[in-house]
Amino acid sequence: MAGTDPVNDGGPTITNQKTNMKMKNILMSLAALALMSPVARSQSGDTGDHHMDWWREARYGMFIHWGLYSIAGGEWKGKDYGKEQGGASAEWLMNSAKIPKEEYRATLAPKFNPTGFDAAKWVSVAKEAGMKYVVITSKHHDGFCLFDTDATDYNVMDATPFKRDIIKELSEECAKQGLKFGVYYSQFKDWYHRSRGKGFPGTLSNEEYLELVQKNLDELLTNYGEMAVLWFDVGGNNVIEADAQGARVREMQPNAVICSRLYSRRVPVDQQKYADFNSLPDRMLPAKRMTVDSETCMTMRHNWGYDRTDDAWKSEKDIVEFLALCAARGVNLLLNVGPTPEGTLLPEETERLHAVGKWMAVNGESIYGTHYSPVDYDFWWGAMTQKDQTVFLHVLEWKKDGIEFNGIVGKPVKAYFLADPNKEPLPVSYDAAGHVTTVKVPENAPDERDTVIAVEYAGPITTDPQAKGKYHWYTTRSKRHTEIRKRKGAGEQILQEAVKEAR
């Protein structure tokens, strides 16, 4: 029973399965991915999927984990159940602390009165951060609905003193401020309405539960204007069930973008009929560029939901780096906030978002609407994105002797710091043997988080198919993909090594 999984990263964990089964499934999914099924669509070329256009352009959105669990802040009866390193995150409290549903509801629902909640404020923080869409947990695994629903009384209007439809307020505000709005919806795991394993029955039978999901979807797709994203999570293995839910979304809001977690990761990609984008495991930077539409979601500290004691904040640089590396690998970034029980964003969150927003205000062109790196590797100093005839070098680690890259054919016509309003040209040299381009730079990095250098070409960008390189930047599974690392000794690996055969 997947409902008792302690942790997961987007698909039910496989603890009860034999390892060879797990491997087999991973291999099958990888094979299917390699075939580039029509489901996980290509980022380039016209495949008649225009509802994806805004999403591909957006590149960067806000994820919000908020619900009854936020009141508890990762603690239950004096014990800390938060964190994510090896344990579950704060929104998993009900499951981690084995709290019976009645007790969870009776303890937390009457306390849910976040009078500090101001949708206009949240949305303007997202907007100023340069984010283009907002996705909030309308129902997480604990089963509690943050919206007005007739399908259950376990919702913000009937079960809490707050009695304000959070989804309505946020959706209206997003429409007003011009951001796309979508909902996270836990369709498979529901520890309140559906059984979560032996000793923990749900309030509903399985059939009744599926009806509840359908009613909820109908409400979410009818009452809140345009629903831009349906962010399903932790899908089960029942493809028929998932397909019915996906079909409902398509029918009611044909332009909604559907997350692949509608399906379990065990379902081969070519059978994920309604998945519009591939949701990577939580916080993961994929090992190489993704040629199918993909998104990574990332926390600002360990937890998704509000946790009272989690101080593992990522720095501004960490976030900017991750955003740049995601874009270079063709991946959208959905960056999470976990608002407080009072309904406010934490100062640590707003400060970071503000700083990233300032970076985006001058460097956004190197992220929005860009394409994954033209070359199938990155560089020890960073990585590149591409738009039309320009490549953007995201320099995460400075090299005063010059920023060099191989693999793009021809000398660029111009290079300049993207943040420089005068676009003062930087000297460029080009060596046709190995196609090595070097941009001369000043001694100190203009922006230590990520200095973007725009490199413009006179015609379409052509790459050398023989060009060699490595992926230097990665996140590790052992740290739940939470830290960005660089291959050891990457700096010493001089580029000439990669091009010596050509010379």
Kindly list the residues in this chain that would bind ligand GLC in the complex (CB under 6 A).
8, 10, 65, 89, 91-92, 233-234, 282, 297, 304
CB of 393 to ligand GLC, least distance (A): 30
Task: Take residue 471 and report the two structure tokens written for it.
Answer: 């992926």
To ligand GLC, the closest distance from the beta carbon of 235 in angstroms equals: 10
SS (H, E, C) 406-462: ECECCCCCEEEECCCCCCCCCCEEEECCCCEEEECCCCCCCCCCCEEEEEECCCCCC
What are the Cα distances from residue 87, in Å, to 172, 303, 452, 473? Answer: 36, 10, 37, 26
CB of 229 to ligand GLC, least distance (A): 13
Q: In the complex with ligand GLC, which residue's Cβ is closer, 298 or 395?
A: 298
Q: Which two tokens stand for residue 472?
A: 């230097």
We find the least distance from the C-beta atom of residue 447 to ligand GLC, in angstroms, to be 30
User: Which CB atom, from 137 or from 373, has the smaller least distance to ligand GLC?
Assistant: 137
Nearest CB to ligand GLC, comparing residues 82 and 412: 82
Give min distance, CB of 451 to ligand GLC, in A: 31
Pair 151, 143: CB distance under 8 Å = no
Nearest residue (CB) to ligand GLC, 345 versus 418: 345
Kindly tell me which of 146 and 383 has the beta carbon lying closer to ligand GLC.
Answer: 146
CA 22 – CA 137 distance, rounded (Å): 29
Question: Which of 492, 493, 475 shows the shortest CA–CA distance to 484?
Answer: 475
CB of 501 to ligand GLC, least distance (A): 43
Q: Rounded to whole angstroms, what are the CA distances from 168 to 179, 181, 222, 226, 227?
A: 14, 11, 11, 11, 11
Minimum CB–partner distance for residue 65 and ligand GLC (Å): 6
Instruction: Report the nearest approach of ligand GLC to the CB of residue 234 (Å).
Output: 5
Burial 423-455 (b: 16+ CB within 10 A, else e): eeebebeebeebbbbbbebeeebebebbbbbbb
Cβ distance to ligand GLC smaller for residue 304 or 392: 304
Radius of gyration of the chain (CA): 23
Cα angle: 275, vertex 280, 285; to 5 degrees: 150
Quote the CA–CA distance of 257 and 227 in Å, as a whole number: 9
Neighbours of 287 (CB within 10 A): 11
Q: Judged by CB, which is closer to ligand GLC: 233, or 316?
A: 233
